[in-house]
Amino acid sequence: MSEPTVTSPGTASAAPSGATSNGGSAVEVNGLVKRYGEVEAVKGIDFAVARGEIFGFLGPNGAGKSTTINMLCTLVRPSGGSALVAGHDVVSERDEVRRNIGLVFQDTTLDGYLTAEQNLRLHAELYGVPRDAVHERMRQVMEMVGLWDRRGSLVNTFSGGMKRRLEIARGLLHSPRVLFLDEPTVGLDPQTRSSIWRYIRELKAREDITIFLTTHYMDEAEYCDRIAIIDQGRIIVLDTPQELKAKVGSDRVQIQTDDDQAAIAAIRERFGIEATMADGVVTFGVPAGEQFVPRLFDEWDPAHPAIRSVSVARPSLDDVFMSHTGTTIRDAESSNDDQRRNVGRMMSR
Amino acid sequence: MATETSIRRAGEEALPSSERPHELARVRVPVRSARSELRAIKVVWKRELIRFSRDRLRILTSLIQPFLFLFVLGTGISSLAAAGTHGVNFKTFIYPGILCMAVMFTAMFSAASIVWDREFGFLREMMVAPVRRSSIVLGKCFGGATVAGFQGLLVIAISPLVGIPYNAALIAELLALALLLAFAITAFGVMFAARVNQMQSFMALMQMAIMPMFFLSGTLFSVALLPTWLAVLNRLDPLTYAVEPMRRAIFAHAHISAAARRALDPGVTWWGWHVPTAVEAAVIAVLGLAMLSIAIVEFSRAE
């Protein structure tokens, strides 16, 4: 977990900044609700994030992830329930919370007409970072994301990935205790996505910091220490990715055939397994996939439709999501998008 | 308060140096104080200046309008108006109004950047900072005033071309009034920017506010012989209280006959009482502060 913060050799201190010295949770949420008129975007959620943890909120667009993160960041007032961030109440101790958190939003919040360095200096001034510490801290966070050499460039000349990296550096400038990342890799190419994840994991190793992020990428959720799956404003399940996958209990077998409907019927008749169509192929779950495949071919009647290909996969978070919600995250997204104004926002990406 | 610097090395002992590509020093952010609010005001102000100085095109284009009014409209109407100006150069006459207009447009553009900031997300960076919203609004208004004051100075620089000699006292008075006006107009714009989300709507709204103010202020005509309805509207126009004292100051320094001054610059009267410059300046200051307060309340309420 996180390394102890050390003032000088011998003087250990575990409370780096701010008034919170308790070793309790970094984030503590009780019965949090947000209503917009008639619509309940967040329907009473409870969870706690331990210090030093990478905690992920996984769910389709429109599930309530951003609303929750906005409430934790004091940007949106909860309609009910309570939330403590770094030991401070998000409603009654708004400034205390703000001082102790770093934010990286989905959409850029940089000033494109200023240089990278001017953006960070502005941030340092707004957050009251001691003047004599600004330069050194700025160099460190910018070196970490590999932008120190570009500090004199106008942000408008940066690519999307560079902007996101600069935002991460800026979010860290004032040594926050909790870093919030709202969809940190959305709209980025795979290479940039993986480098952002490298920074996040490096950060966890080097700073005494808790990371709270939202994502709708299943593969990224695997990097989290724990994840909460959220759908339609409720937390459906919360655990480590390993535990969640273990609980699904079965491997996923997908076969391509000449006649899918006949194959589904044959599987039901022969093996007593209910297969469904997913991603355009016949899909079903069995406890031990590798051992099932030889059996499948042994018992497959020549009268059944011919099998063109077989694939076996360990349970992924996709399967976790599916086993809890009965739908894939992609399908959940398209139905959410129809209901919500997100459609326009997604198209603009 | 807790402003002491404490740079700590994180992970110094936990990892061998080979696994430490970058060391991160922790900084300590002090609790909110008057000083941290001042820093916030200053940095928002400074951002306005940096952005303005980088935008040379904006400085240039905002000078075109005053030039058009002064030298095209001014020259064109001079011959027409010669009979009624008692020998006073028409360009000298409209100069204070043109100066005010240049200042107003620049101030308005500064306020408009809040709408841009919202659209491009940067406003959020300021809204989540652990400082008072009033500090951000104040910094913005000071920034707008400074930038517009600079624009005013550029227009003041060309005053000899319209028959107004350089004079330190005159320049100081014009600049002070220009700054006051710029501050009030920025506050006016920021007040609207808190509620308007679209740039197009904001610009349309501003045009709608500035043009009537400009026409009613007596920039292009003398307020001596107006029909009652126009005289009333003229007194209600805040810009009147910037144009009139500027004109009075200019006429005092430009060797203009007493008869001409009576005809062209009769001064603003309230029920027969001649409103002195100090009261006129106070009118603008009070209006500016009122709009500033509304802007602060609106921004503090916004989530």
Give the minimum alpha-carbon distance from A151 to chain B in angstroms, rounded to a whole number.
16
Which chain B residue shows the shortest CA-CA distance from A71?
B303
Nearest to A286, CA basis, from A255, A250, A310, A320: A250
> What distance in Å separates the CA atoms of residue B114 and residue A123, rounded to the nearest whole number?
17
Amino acid A23: pLDDT: 55
Amino acid A4: pLDDT: 41
Say yes or no for a CB contact (<8 Å) between A17 and B27.
Answer: yes
Residue with tokens 């624009």: B151
Q: What is the pLDDT of residues B118-159, one digit of tens each?
A: 888 898 899 889 999 999 999 999 999 999 999 999 999 999
CB atoms < 10 A from the CB of B86, how many? 15
Scanning A218-247 for CB atoms below 8 A from B yields: none
- How many angstroms separate the most distant Cα atoms in chain B? 90
Is B190 contained in some domain? yes
Is B41 contained in some domain? yes
* Average predicted confidence (pLDDT) for chain A: 83
Chain A residues in contact with B8 (beta carbon < 8 A): 5-7, 13, 16
Asked if the ipTM is above 0.85, the reply is no
What domains lie within chain A, and their CATH numbers? 23-244 (3.40.50.300), 250-314 (3.30.70)
Is B232 contained in some domain? no
Name the band, by pLDDT with cuts 50, 70 and 90, for residue B249.
very high
Interface mutation target, options A96, A101, A111, A120, chain B, most CBs of B under 10 Å: A111
Amino acid A344: pLDDT: 40
Name the band, by pLDDT with cuts 50, 70 and 90, for residue A200.
confident
Scanning B118-177 for CB atoms below 8 A from A yields: 120-122, 124-131
Provide the β-strand partners of residue A311: A254
Q: What is the pLDDT of residues A53-83, one digit of tens each?
A: 999 998 888 888 889 999 999 988 999 999 9
Amino acid B261: pLDDT: 82
Amino acid A335: pLDDT: 63
Name the band, by pLDDT with cuts 50, 70 and 90, for residue A273.
confident
For chain B, report the end-to-end CA distance as a whole number of angstroms: 28
Which chain A residue shows the shortest CA-CA distance from B54?
A113
- DSSP H helices, chain A, are 65-72, 94-99, 116-126, 131-144, 160-172, 190-206, 218-221, 241-248, 260-271, 289-299, 317-325, 329-339, 342-347
Nearest to A26, CA basis, from A234, A172, A209: A209
pLDDT higher than 50, residue B79: yes
Give the minimum alpha-carbon distance from B145 to chain A in angstroms, rounded to a whole number.
20
Which chain A residue shows the shortest CA-CA distance from B28?
A17
Nearest to A34, CA basis, from A81, A74, A87: A81
Containing A231, the helix (H) or strand (E) segment is: strand A226-231
Of A171-180, A338-347, B84-93, which one has max mean pLDDT? A171-180
Quote the domain boundaries for residue B64: 36-214+290-301
Give the minimum alpha-carbon distance from A31 to chain B in angstroms, rounded to a whole number.
21
**Percent of chain A scored above 90 by pLDDT?**
38
Tokens of B10: 């994180």
Is B219 contained in some domain? no
Residue in B7, B42, B303 nearest the CB of A136: B7
Q: What is the DSSP letter of A115?
A: B
Nearest to A234, CA basis, from A25, A26, A33: A33
> What distance in Å separates the CA atoms of residue A17 and residue A13, rounded to the nearest whole number?
10
* A-B contacts at Cβ under 8 angstroms: 154
Burial class (CB in 10 A: 0-12, 13-18, 19+), A256: middle
Name the band, by pLDDT with cuts 50, 70 and 90, for residue B25.
low
Q: What is the DSSP letter of A174?
A: T
- A22–chain B Cβ distance below 8 A for any pair: no
Is B253 contained in some domain? no
Amino acid at A13: S
Amino acid A341: pLDDT: 45
Number of domains composing chain B: 1
Scanning B82-121 for CB atoms below 8 A from A yields: 117, 120-121
Amino acid A62: pLDDT: 80
Chain A residues in contact with B47 (beta carbon < 8 A): 111, 114, 118, 122
Q: B36 and B131 in contact (C-beta within 8 Å)? A: yes
pTM for the whole structure: 0.77
Containing B247, the helix (H) or strand (E) segment is: helix B240-253
Tokens of A136: 């050194």
CB atoms < 10 A from the CB of A133, how many? 19
> What distance in Å separates the CA atoms of residue B47 and residue A156, rounded to the nearest whole number?
16
> What distance in Å separates the CA atoms of residue A343 and residue A349, rounded to the nearest whole number?
10
Interface mutation target, options A77, A175, A182, A208, chain B, most CBs of B under 10 Å: A175
Is B191 contained in some domain? yes
Is B197 contained in some domain? yes
Is B61 contained in some domain? yes
Residue with tokens 């932008």: A147
